[in-house]
Structure 1
């Protein structure tokens, strides 16, 4: 099956052509980072307008790069949620238009589900496995039993890890998006240079909290304006990153122990972070756990990952949840509802 996948949940306009939900023939991403950097974050209205301008050229480029014509496409998979409602609607409208014009089926895909399964584009993974999804809007631990079969083991009770990275970057005067800049500065800093808390580390749950850590950084900066403490910015970035990664690894280790699962997938934009990759790799090696972390291009938002669950739903003729409404909030535990009715 040749699937055209479309992703417009936030500020990347992306399209890909994937064969059988595994082989990427093309993957095109048009980023809006430079546009939103001026505002220090994503502006939903601007994102939506930019998607409208980019969606047709991006789809055309994906088809051209794959060497596949639109008439050869067997189905379309599109991100239906969660995300910015205006941005989602652009992708959904494009997918439905292509489906109607070519008389081919279209299916909606959960953005987080796509992250959970992105690693299949590089290698097969045996179910069940544990998945840590870390992004700007999500920090969750899932038990993955199969496509459409997910259970939440833990989640953030306030800020997501990626959100905390961007907010701390803003606090210390770095430009948007700040996560990658913190990672770069942390490489030459002392992770023990600034004493910071590890929220919820020993509360007995697999949940996360990062708002207190963000506030601790803010308080430190306010007490040490203009670098009066003599502590370099690199040390603060390294200390913050170390705190986040330590909490993520500790909670993941707890979930592995409680479930007895020996396979771990780490996905989402923050999975690009070198500190997290290092911490999780040490954890997996020490416990004899099979670790799967997709390449950075597959961790960041992209359309190729949408084709993995998309191909399954198209093949199984599983109904798209709520028709084709954009679902800005779409918890994964609602995925099972789509199996109740076959298309």
Structure 2
């Protein structure tokens, strides 16, 4: 005699009554973790017949499932805060890195995620500028320098992570008469126009330095999250490498001499010339606050900087 059948015999369900049968099925599903084939075999019907009975009165069957599930939870020992936190963390890991479709289904049911929720997230990802920026290939921009400045502004820029929750409201509350706010808005505007025109304005790095110096002067400097900087800067496109065959084919198509080809391959990128005010003073101030201003993403960079300082 199977364990499921023994359990049902002990409960004395009247399996000839459809309501009692559905209740019995819900009971063993919740409390015995039995699948439909095991239940059908224990009751003495086919799995197909079992599914048909559930379909005819699914509302009642679901209510029985909820009843047994809630009873099961109430009978358990109350979890401590740490245990509950660990459980939720494990559930999130299960859903974000599932090993099977069952793991994903369990995650969806636990957090009651609907199709509309998924659609909403997809719409946000499509319309979010920060998502576009992270995924875009911007070989004409200094991604690392920009990422460093944006991370320094993360108190007013929501990056889509826990660390920057509340940044959106901080942005709304910004005082546009404040000098630091003016610099942040100037930098953001110049960055946007650079992206729109697909050429980095030559004053952008300088303006980023002025902004970060103002943060230090106002006592609003904060430790930068290097992980966030790497994430924002990691999509830099590699420089195109021309093979000898590609060079010859291109030269033939264009009808160029060797000298013309070399001039083309070594030509500098086009950028407008802009006179920057107080550039030397910015350089002096930057050196003065080097301990806060320099951001080393790797230990090797930090060691190399120390070696330079010793020379």
Q: Could you say which structure has the higher strand fraction?
A: 1
TM-score for both structures, normalised by structure 2: 0.23
TM-score for both structures, normalised by structure 1: 0.21
Query: Which structure has the larger Rg?
Result: 2
